[in-house]
Chain A
Amino acid sequence: QVQLQESGPRLVNPSETLSLTCAVSGFSISSGDYWGWIRQPPGKGLEWIGSLYHTGTTYYSPSVKSRVTISVDTSKNQFSLKLSSVTAADTAVYFCARDRGSGWPDWGQGTLVTVSS
């Protein structure tokens, strides 16, 4: 059973960089599949941020492409999200998940990140 767990600061200052890590257990990232990040502002819908293949190839949403970096550390079986120059609009629950293209079968529990001074 694949399990994912997000971790990182819950409060980020405006204009700074949001950083989150997703630890994966029950499956080796280097074995394949895509891995991605999805966010959900309070009371709103889901938004795809980007996905990464285990080789390091990345795909980003046009809405955040200029500010986002997703990377992988196969030695630790985890992948990370960095979102720069954040504003209050980036306040959301951030989910990491396994992306099979045909669907997202496995999700982390999500972590609320608030952008505020």
Chain B
Amino acid sequence: QSALTQPASVSGSPGQSITISCTGTSSDVGSDNFVSWYQQHPGKAPKIMIYEGSKRPPGVSNRFSGSKSGNTASLTISGLQAEDEADYYCCSYARSRDSSVFGVGTKVTVL
């Protein structure tokens, strides 16, 4: 199975909104609502930001939101802050294959 497609980099100024896309197939992203998103700072373990496509775990800022349309999921960060600068990964669970697949990752830069 191939990694999910994400843009290599996205940038924005403080206070702006940015959106990261995550494109898969009808067998993974498009099949169920099992897309999750992770933030990873250098040298750290990934941190879950969104699960089941659009749900935020306790403690995650409401500036982070998730959505999906067809085979593409999206993560939007509104009110961009310096601390949001990190790598972001999407992940999809494919129930039909009992497998998970991650996106290639997107580097977010706060200008």
Contacts and interface: CB of A to CB of B under 8 A. Distances in A.
Q: Do A and B bind each other?
A: yes
Contact of B45 (A59, A101, A109): A109
A46 interface: yes
A103 B48 contact: yes
A62 interface: yes
B64 interface: no
Interface in A14-40: 36, 38
Interface string B64-86: 00000000000000000000000
Q: Tell me the dominant secondary structure on chain B's binding face.
A: strand
Given A101-B34, A107-B45, A46 B52 contact: no
Interface in A56-105: 59, 61-62, 95, 99-105
Nearest to A95: B45
Contacts of A100: 51
Contacts, number: 63
A6 to B, nearest CB: 10
Contact of A46 (B1, B50, B102): B102
B104 A45 contact: yes
Nearest to B103: A45
A95 B47 CA distance: 12
For chain A, give the interface size range: 20 to 34
B57 interface: yes
A51 interface: yes
Contact of B36 (A38, A59, A103): A103
B74 to A, nearest CB: 16
A110 B45 CA distance: 7
Interface of B: 1, 3, 34, 36, 38, 40, 45-48, 50-52, 57, 89, 91, 93, 95, 98-105
8 contacts: A48-B99, A61-B99, A95-B46, A99-B100, A102-B51, A104-B38, A104-B48, A105-B48
Interface of A: 36, 38, 45-48, 51, 59, 61-62, 95, 99-105, 107-110
Closest 7 CB pairs of A and B: A103-B51, A103-B36, A107-B45, A45-B105, A48-B100, A46-B102, A59-B98
